[in-house]
C-alpha cells in the first residue's frame, strides 16, 4: 500500500531542535547565525522529501530520498554533507523522517518537533 503524503504537512524546525534531536551532526555556521536558522522539511512523494534551510539571507535545498539514505546506511556511512555547511547523521535523519511523516501521517496531524 502506498503512503498518502498529501495529508502530511511540512515540518519547520530550528537549528537547535535538529541538533538536539541528533539530526545535525556538525555545522560550519557561525554561532550568532544558528539562532536564526530554520529548516522546513516537506514530503514530496512516497519516501522523498525536500529540506530547505534558511540561513541569514541564503536558502539551501536538499532533496532527500529515503531509499538512498537506507542504501548509505547499509553501506556504513554515518553522515551526509550539505553544501559544506552541515553534516546530517543518517541514522537520526531516517528516524526523524519516519517519526514525523510516516508514523504521524496516519494520524493526519500537524507535525511539530517536540522538545
Residue pLDDT, tens place only, 15-33: 989 999 999 999 988 888 8
CB 88 within 8 A of CB 23: yes
Q: pLDDT at position 104, please?
A: 57
Instruction: Give residue-wise pLDDT tens across range 74-105.
Output: 999 999 998 888 899 999 999 999 888 877 55
Does the structure show a pLDDT above 50 at 52? yes
Residue 2, pLDDT above cutoff 50:
no
Q: Which three cell numbers stand for residue 71?
A: 542504501
Angle in degrees, CA 65, 66, 68, rounded to 5 = 70
Q: What is the average pLDDT across 41-65?
A: 90
Assign 5 a pLDDT band (cuts: 50, 70, 90): very low
Between CA 58 and CA 77 the distance in angstroms is: 28
> pTM of this prediction?
0.79
**10 to each of 5, 7, 54, 70, 72, how far by Cα in Å?**
10, 10, 15, 22, 24
User: Can you tell me the mean pLDDT for 64-81?
Assistant: 95
Amino acid at each position: 500500500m502506498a503512503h498518502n503524503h498529501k495529508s502530511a504537512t511540512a515540518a519547520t524546525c530550528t537549528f537547535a531542535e535538529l541538533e538536539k534531536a541528533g539530526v545535525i551532526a556538525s555545522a560550519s555556521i557561525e554561532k550568532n547565525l544558528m539562532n536564526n536558522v530554520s529548516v522546513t522539511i516537506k514530503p514530496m512523494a512516497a519516501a522523498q522529501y525536500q529540506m530547505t534551510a534558511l540561513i541569514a539571507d541564503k536558502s539551501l535545498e536538499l532533496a532527500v530520498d529515503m531509499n538512498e539514505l537506507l542504501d548509505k546506511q547499509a553501506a556504513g556511512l554515518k553522515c551526509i554533507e550539505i553544501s559544506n555547511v552541515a553534516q546530517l547523521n543518517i541514522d537520526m535523519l531516517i528516524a526523524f523522517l519516519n517519526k514525523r511523516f510516516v508514523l504521524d501521517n496516519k494520524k493526519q496531524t500537524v507535525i511539530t518537533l517536540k522538545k
